[in-house]
Amino acid sequence: PAACTTRSQRPRIFVGVPIFAEVLQALAADFEVVAPCGTDTPADWSGPALAAAMAGCDGAFVAGTVPVDAALIAACPTLRAVCTMAVGYNNIDVAACTAAGVLVSNAPDVLTETTADFGFALMMAAARRIAEGEHYLRAGRWKHWRYDLLAGADVHGATLGILGMGRIGQAIARRGAAGFGMPVVYHNRSRLPEATEAALGARWVDKDTLLRTADHLVIVVPYSASSHHLIGAAELACMKPTATLTNVARGGVVDDAALADALARGVIASAGLDVFEGEPAVHPALLQVPNVVLTPHIASASLRTRRAMADLAVRNLRAVFGLGEEAGRPPT
């Protein structure tokens, strides 16, 4: 019975990011909660503070900004689970966790459609020069009508190229094919089943063909050692000079310096970036080029979706510790 469970017997959970008050309350119902960030105080966990803050904890609730590396795992021998409220988990050394018997879970599915909405919006903003137009207007430069004022590239009917055809890539493909009449080509290590390709209206091509064919290239591939700088100067040089590139995956997939150079020299027309190598720092050269739309890693940031991501991480923690309705459910 619940009355037999004393507070000190409850698993202790470290919460490494600021999060909704309701989520902290939900955690507190089942766990002893260590939440140094509360609801609105982000912490810089790049130094030794993280291991000290996590000492003695049984589980961790994290997001992409909390670096869970082998040294941290070694410093936290009581840890049994790391549950991230993100779908990407390149900030977590899964091999080190597995070797130490620490279970890792992520938060897929709940953010797919929201992230696809944003990826599509960023691609449209780059193609139709929406941010450039806004800066132009705010700077008081709008004096006359001109036939070519901030004229960009059409999205409808243009070829949509998708690099990485997982759940989010497929959701972007559906938007392009069904809503905008776009022929869709994609490149992924493994091809989708034919029936899925047919339902999406998407065609697998090799990476080189993808780069040469796409009018609008959207990158949705997870970050790993093998996707590091998958798009660099050589790849950008293969693209059409009228093409756009949008990245809602991870910063390290694109060589930001090479992209800034390509944008400045007109190798491609424009870009939309929600993610950056070394974020929240942004390569200074990107800040200098006008033909790129820059957003601060917010592709999944609708309030409803961020709440769903956090709730899923809480459910995963409960599943790991066999608590409540989640007892017996394997975490995601």
Residue 25 buriedness (CB in 10 A; 0-12 / 13-18 / 19+) = exposed
Q: For residues 96-135, which are near ligand DGY according to CB under 6 A? A: 111
Tell me the closest approach of the beta carbon of residue 146 to ligand DGY, in angstroms: 39
In the complex with ligand DGY, the residue whose CB is nearer, 267 or 313, is: 313
Question: 234: Cβ–Cβ under 8 A, 6 or more apart, which residues?
Answer: none
In the complex with ligand DGY, the residue whose CB is nearer, 64 or 169, is: 64
Which one is catalytic: 10, 167, 279, 307? 279
* Total Cβ atoms within 10 A of residue 140: 7
Active site residue 144: no
Sign for the CA dihedral angle at 123, 127, 132, 138 comes to negative
Query: Binding-site residue total for ligand DGY (CB under 6 A)?
Result: 6
Decide if 103 contacts 60 (C-beta within 8 A). Answer: no
Residue 88 as a binder of ligand DGY (CB under 6 A): the answer is yes
Q: For residues 30-69, which are near ligand DGY according to CB under 6 A? A: 64
In the complex with ligand DGY, the residue whose CB is nearer, 76 or 86, is: 86
Residue 86 as a binder of ligand DGY (CB under 6 A): the answer is yes
Residue 300 as a binder of ligand DGY (CB under 6 A): the answer is yes
Active site residue 279: yes
Which one is catalytic: 10, 203, 228, 297? 297
Tell me the closest approach of the beta carbon of residue 249 to ligand DGY, in angstroms: 8
Decide if 159 contacts 182 (C-beta within 8 A). Answer: yes
Question: 326: Cβ–Cβ under 8 A, 6 or more apart, which residues?
Answer: 315, 316, 318, 319
DSSP string covering 125-144, please? HHHTTHHHHHHHHHTT---S
Active site positions, annotated:
250, 279, 297
Residues in contact with ligand DGY by CB under 6 A are 64, 86-88, 111, 300
